Structures are given as structure tokens and as C-alpha cells.
Amino acid sequence: MEIERQGAVSVPITRSFPKVIAGVCEFCGILDNTKPSEVQYTLCPHFKSIGLLRCSYCDESRDPVEVIKSAEINVHGHPDNPNKLVVVCDNFTCSQKHLARFKLSKS
């Protein structure tokens, strides 16, 4: 017999999209040299149908375009609702909120 051992922290596995770094999709890069970097991700096939990305955890007072211009954005499928996406900027507070929200085990 074998004993199953799970890691100290369990989290759900979801679909992950390419990162958006300063507004540019990490896979597609710059697609139109005449447009600013913060809109480049809206031109690529990964995000074209999604529209404006807005961090799911940033305060409402933060301008989403400014966040996109200055941050690395991670986009994940929602573990409980396949029709929703969870967007997380690289701000430490937002990252911590995201990890705490989807943490499954109590450690």
C-alpha cells in the first residue's frame, strides 16, 4: 500500500493565458508600431475578444490603463466559473489576495 501525500498548500489548476507585460502580450509582442504599448495586447489573438484588462484585486481608484502600462499582468481562468477570468497585477498586495482567495488547504 502507498500513502498519498499532498503538498503543504493546495491550489486549483486553471487555464493560464500569456502574461501581459507593460501592455504587450509575452507571446505576440508588438503588433502595431503606431500604437502605444498599453494597447498592444488588445491586438493579439489571446486578448482581442476580452477587451480592457483590469486587475481583479486593485482598488477602484487605480486607473487600469496605468496599471497595465507599469505592471506584469497574469490572466487565469476562474476555477469555479469557466466563463470568467481572474486578472492579477504584480502588485504584492494583489498577489497576496489572489493566493489567499484560492488556497484550498489549511496550512
Give the tens place of pLDDT for each residue, 51-82. 899 999 999 999 999 999 999 999 998 888 88
pLDDT: which is higher, 68 or 15? 68
What pLDDT, on a 0 to 100 scale, did the predictor assign at position 82? 82
Model pTM above 0.85: no
Calculated CA dihedral for residues 55, 60, 78, 25, nearest 10 degrees: -20
- Greatest C-alpha distance within the chain: 63
Where are the domains positioned within the chain? 20-101
Report the DSSP beta bridge partners of residue 18: none
Q: Give the chain's mean pLDDT.
A: 87
